[in-house]
Structures are given as structure tokens and as C-alpha cells.
Structure 1
Amino acid sequence: MITAALLVAAGRGQRAGGGIPKQWRPLAGRRVADWTLAQFRALPEIGPIVLVLSPEDKAAWDEFAKDSRLILAEGGSDRAGSVRNGLAALDGSGAEAVLIHDIARPCVSARLIRDVIAALDTSAAAAPGLAVTDALWTGAEDRVTGVQDRNGLFAAQTPQGFHLDAIRAAHAAHTGGAADDVEVVRAAGLAVTIVPGDPDNLKITTPGDFARAERILGQHMDIRLGNGYDVHRFGPGDHVTLCGVTIPHGHGLVGHSDADVGMHAVTDAIYGALAQGDIGRHFPPSDPQWKGANSAIFLRHAGDLSRQMGYRISNVDCTLVCERPKIGPHAEAMAEAMAVILQIPADRISVKATTSERLGFTGREEGIAALATVALIGE
């Protein structure tokens, strides 16, 4: 089932202060919206992403229009109208389910997103909620006027997930406003599964929420860096394979596998960040089954291992060192080839090249070297 994300970012957020809408305010080195968007972009389970923007946010429209993965939609007169516009923007996207999320919840975890997606396998609607544990009062004029029974009460969170046909039909039939999309589908008679919420998944509403969100993001961010380096010499042949792309050349590269020096460097960088050795540890060259093997096998294993260990690949930077062949015309295809293998967006992979100014073995065109750096973020 293809699951889309619909991020509602058209509100003005006046209670948060700061003079500009809260989604565009800085938070821990990035904007609030950037944190939220990054959480959804990083998950391979998420397909198309709709970003609902206010027509007043011209700079945001100009910025995000350049992102080929995003679908932009104009905000409505209220939240329900914005969601309806976002749902309409999914026409033709192939999405069968959608997660609707407030852009002002930047601390949403990958675990919570996946829990909601998993609940949609057996339910037409699912949403996270936190059971209320504090005593509840009613009050007026700074005085307690009564006590409210907290049994069976939940604090609602997002993302709220729905089968796309169900949420579209519910919104089409709904009149008036609604606090959230759960209210809309319940009015249409749909049952909603409650997924355990996350106390850290706060919605930034008041000025003090920025400090709390910054503490959460700082505490939870487990970042690992790894680097890789590999060299292969030239030998007989009429092509080289670099970062998964075959390029005609007067020589081939010599190695136990297909000698893809770029992919080997990236693979070793991932293993290094995980403290899991190198390619030789997982695929010993003494084992004949790996002779002539496609290096995509190694890279895929490293990517799968990172997810199994609870990390997602934030970005990859690979530099190829050679006089020839020219890498520039093939760099985009190389990034796209590795993106498919690693299950991350191609715009998170950089492939570039340099020469060694005719110095050393690469300068003498005796072979090709590659260096790679990766960043992993714990989930």
C-alpha cells in the first residue's frame, strides 16, 4: 500500500510569537518545518509528500517548488479546508493511504510514523493518542470550579492515518469546522484505532514550546559518521563500473568483485559508522562466491544492516579520484543508482570527482581511488 504524507503548513501560529509563522522560525539550527519534513522524507515507507502552504508564504512556495518529491497545495480558510486541498493534490499520485500531520510537530519519531502506518493494515483510520494521567479541573477566573473524570480520555496527536478513499469521502460529507481529521471521519461513522502516542511528540503552540522541542531534538539525536576509502587498478577491459553505472573506457578495473571502487568506499563508510568492520569482514575475498559479484550486493547489505541496527542514512558524499573517465556527465545517474539500493532520496547522495593533478598512481592513470563519508541518525 502506497502511503502519502500530508503536512499542513498553512497556519499563522500567532500564539507562538516571534513575528513570523511558527513553522518558519528557527529551531536547533533548522526551521521547524525542515525538521518535520525531514522525518517523513527519510522513511522509505512514505511515498508522495504534500505540503500545504499559505498563499502568503511566497518565499516558501518558491523554495519548495524546486523539490521534485513534494506536491504543493494551497491552504484553505481553515484547517479542514487545507486538508481537503491537500487530499485533492494527491489525485493521480497512486497513493492508497495518507498520514496527515501538523507541521508544528517537529519531534515526531520514525517509530510513531511506522506504528500508524502498520495500524492501517487492519483499520481504515488510526491516530496516536496519549492517555490522560493528570487530574483534570474545570476553572473560571483563575479558580478551580470542578473536577473532570480522566478515565477514557486521550490527548490527540498526529500523524493521523487514513485510507485515502475513506478520508476523502468523510471530508466531502463534512460541514463546518473540525478540531482534527479524526473528528471528521468519526462524523462519517468510521472507527478509529488508537495507537500509543509519544510524550515527546509535542505541538509547538506557545513560545516556551521552542525550548522544550530543542531539548528533545538534542537528546534524541544519535549521529554517527563513517568514512571509506578504496582503490582499484586498471587492467584489460572496455568499461568501468562506478557507483553502479557502466562507463565505456579503454581499460577495466581489477578486483575480486566487479571492482566498483565508488560503491566499495560508500559501503565501507556505512560499515565504519556502524562499527561493523569493512566489506572484507562481511564478504571475504577468499570466498569464491563473491568473485565477480555485483557491488550492489555489498551496498544493499550495509544499508539493510543500518536499518536493522536502528539507524537511517542521512546523507552520502562520495568523491572519485581519476584523470579519466569524466565523471560529471554520469554523477546524477550514479546518485540515483545508489539511492535505489539504499532506499533513500537521490538528493541525499552526492557523487563528485577530482583529479590528482597528474600526481601519483591516479595521475599516471594506473587506477581510480574513491573516498566516501556517510552520516547515520539513530531512530
Structure 2
Amino acid sequence: MKPWAILLAAGQGSRLAAAADGRAKQFLHWRGAPLYWHSARAMSRSAVVAGIVFVFPQNGHAEHEERLRELHAAEDLGIPWLTAVGGEMRQDSVRNALSVLPADVRHVLIHDAARPFLTPALVRRVCEALQRGACGVIPALPVTDTIKTVADGLVTGTLPRQALMAVQTPQGFSSDLLRQAHAHARETGLSVTDDASLLEALGHSVHVVEGEAANVKITNPDDLALLQEAPALPRPCTGMGYDVHRYGPGRPMRLGGILIPAGPEVVAHSDGDVLLHALTDAVLGCAGLGDIGQHFPDKDPRFDNISSALLLDQALDMARQAGVRLCHADMTVVAQTPRLAPYREEIRKNIARLLALPPACVNLKASTEEGLGFTGRAEGIKAYAAVTAWAQDCPALVPPSPLQRDI
């Protein structure tokens, strides 16, 4: 069975509160979502976590749980989640979360919500060690600084750096052993800073896996610089379109906005330009805006015999509003008849004009299917289009709430 994760988001973050306008660090926003949500994303994307328990402060717990529902509604994690009430100490919060875990959970991950840069790869590394039989697993990195013990402003000793490691979360455990360790700590009054120390106190071995340098914990005011947004860079995106039209009494054949006098008529609701329809679908795909049927349904009388160039223009405008700028288009028309070679350059240049691209950035190919299929039997025509574009970074998937305020 896959482990569940416990996401600790109940701390007060006193060292950071003044610089963060009194807010606990786990509720600060980065890239449109609270820090704890970024950790939840990494857990869900690892494909090795079965569910998550979010631990929120007792004060405001209901509001934080409602916010969690909003986040999940906007971006489904794909795994179940529960909430638990935080305690006075970190150990109390973990113990409360263990009490709400499903009874059959054999392993559990404990992660600090103030480590938002967690990656799915690290989650998998910890879980793999648990699957190999480890009862406790921690990610850690070698210490690079010289570490000294100090008392009253004086050095009392220098620790051997080669034997030291800086420990991170998530830490993985046998859930039964972790419950026993927490019970022992409660009985003896043992207070520790991580859960691995509780297993160590019972004499159990804790295995170490490689941590991640980027998996830092937001702790001090200087750490807020890590949450500052870098200027958004364009990202490449592609869109693919396909369309087909049947030959028969209907519209004169047009391809790429160019009339093809030698071509058979096509059955269509609009002007039947199969190439511009495929291109329109590709443009919409680039911007993640669905398909041509959603925006221009063939049952709508407004689009009866409409120019496909107008539909393409509207799709281009929608893509521009979404921050998408086309830079290249590659198209293929598949038909047994007519021969398209005499029209190829005229079509290509007209499409370049419609897309506002240099002709060198538009490519058009024509092919037959050697007598195979409906196109080979000259029963119809089809077209493929692939467009490449630059897009601004995706907008935040998470809607704002009364609890959300940017740094």
C-alpha cells in the first residue's frame, strides 16, 4: 500500500511573522497558491502517495479547511485528503494527524509545509527506501560549513564535518513504529525537532537518502527573497488540428482561403475550408481553448456559409488574449483529387497573411493516400495543421480568497 503524507501547516512561524505582516509562513503565497499547496502538489504528482492529511492551526481551522476545498476544486490533487487540528508543539500536531489516518496505512511521510520547493523525485526516493524495508527514512545533505559548539560567546569545540548532515523533510516511517515513538515521547516528556529523533530514542535505525539543495525551509526574513517572482519568460507551446470534409453537392472548394476551381464541391455548414478549419483547431489548441466545434458549432445558423478566414481570425484574437503569439505553422492536405501543386504557393502566402507571419514561417504539404481509405477513393479531403507559438506563463490556477494576500 502507498503511504499517506502528513503536511504540517500548524506552526506559528514567530521568527518570520514580523516580516510577513503577522502571517504564518505556510500561508504565504507563492505563484498564486499558499506554500503548503505547493508541497501537496509535489506529493500528488509523485504517484507514490495515497493521500494527504493537512494539519492546520486550531485557531481558524474551519477557514483554512474551506480554503483547502477551494484549492482542490480549482486544481484536483487526484488523491483523497483529510485535515487535523494542530497542537501546541510539532509533536502534538503529528500525533493528532496520525489519529485521523486510515487504519490500514502502513507507512507515513511527515513534511514541513514551509518547504515549498519539494520535488516528486525526492518523495519517491524516500518511499522507495520504505519499500525496501526501512522503518525510518530521512533525506539529508552533507554539511559544507565548519560547525562549532559555542557557549557564552566562546567556542567550546569543533565537530567533525565529515560525520555531519543537514536533515530535511519529508521523512518516512512505519506508521505503527511512529505511533509507538510518539507515545514513548509523551510518557517520558521527550521533546525533539524531528520525528526521526523519536525512533532513534527507541533504538531503531534510521536510513538516509540524498536530499535536495533546493528543498530549503522558509524560516527567516531573508528567506522571503526565495519567494520573489522572477520575470515571466515566454514558454514554447504547440497545437495540433485536424479536419475532414466529404465531397458532394454543397460549397465550392476553398483551401487556405483560396478558391480551387478544379476541385469538387464539399459538404459543409461554413464555406467548407478544411485547411483553415484544421488551422483554427491548432491555434485554439496552442492556447488551451478547446476546439472549433465548441466556439463555432455547425448547428448555429450564424455560421452558415461563413468565411473560415473569419473563424480563424477570431481564434487568433482569442489566442492573443490568452498571451499566445504564433511563430510557425506546418500543414498537410491529404486528397486524391484535385492536384494542389498549382495552388500551393498561393495558399501558403495567403495563410501567412492571415496569420501575420512571414511566408518563410508557413509550410504547406500535399499528399495522397495511394487509393486507400475515403480520401483514396476520392470521397473527401482532410487536412492536418501544427502550429508553434510563444506563450506567457500560465495564469494562477487558484482563485483568490479573503485569506490570500500577496507578500
Tell me, yes or no, whether TM beats 0.5.
yes
- In structure 1, how many angstroms separate the alpha carbons of the residues matched to 2:199 and 2:233? 37
Query: Closer, same or farther in 2 for the Cα pair 1:224/1:39, shift >3 Å?
Result: farther
1:172 aligns with 2:212: no
SS at match of 2:102: coil
- In structure 2, how many angstroms separate the alpha carbons of the residues matched to 1:151 and 1:222? 41
Query: Closer, same or farther in 2 for the Cα pair 1:60/1:370, shift >3 Å?
Result: farther
Q: Deviations along 1:253-279, whole A, 9 cap, x unmatched? A: xxxxxxxx9xx98xx97xx9xxxxxxx
Which runs of 5 or more residues in structure 1 are unaligned?
A: 236-260, 273-315, 323-352
What is the aligned counterpart of 1:41 among 41, 44, 50? 44
- In structure 1, how many angstroms separate the alpha carbons of the residues matched to 2:3 and 2:108? 5
Q: Deviations along 1:19-46, whole A, 9 cap, x unmatched? A: 1101112335543223222222322222
Which runs of 5 or more residues in structure 2 are unaligned?
A: 247-277, 312-381, 395-407
Contact kept in structure 2, 1:32 and 1:106, CA below 8 Å:
yes
Query: Closer, same or farther in 2 for the Cα pair 1:361/1:4, shift >3 Å?
Result: farther
Contact kept in structure 2, 1:321 and 1:370, CA below 8 Å:
no
Note the 1:289-300 alignment, pairs <5 A.
none
SS at match of 1:33: helix
Query: Closer, same or farther in 2 for the Cα pair 1:189/1:138, shift >3 Å?
Result: closer
1:354 aligns with 2:295: yes
Deviation of the 1:142 alpha carbon: 4.1
SS at match of 1:184: helix
> Highest Rg: 1 or 2?
2
What is the aligned counterpart of 1:201 among 215, 236, 239? 215
Note the 1:142-291 alignment, pairs <5 A.
142-175=153-186, 176=189, 177-211=191-225, 213-214=226-227, 225-233=236-244
Q: Deviations along 1:36-69, whole A, 9 cap, x unmatched? A: 2222232222221111101213431211145373
SS at match of 1:139: strand
Query: Closer, same or farther in 2 for the Cα pair 1:51/1:225, shift >3 Å?
Result: farther
Q: Deviations along 1:265-308, whole A, 9 cap, x unmatched? A: 8xx97xx9xxxxxxxxxxxxxxxxxxxxxxxxxxxxxxxxxxxx
- In structure 2, how many angstroms separate the alpha carbons of the residues matched to 1:119 and 1:162? 10
Q: Which moved more, 1:45-54 or 1:35-44?
A: 35-44
SS at match of 1:15: helix
- In structure 2, how many angstroms separate the alpha carbons of the residues matched to 1:183 and 1:50? 21
What is the aligned counterpart of 1:120 among 120, 126, 130? 130
- In structure 2, how many angstroms separate the alpha carbons of the residues matched to 1:86 and 1:234? 59
State the TM-score, normalized to the length of structure 2: 0.56
Residue type at the aligned position of 1:89: V
Deviation of the 1:127 alpha carbon: 0.6
Contact kept in structure 2, 1:47 and 1:95, CA below 8 Å:
no
Query: Closer, same or farther in 2 for the Cα pair 1:222/1:191, shift >3 Å?
Result: farther
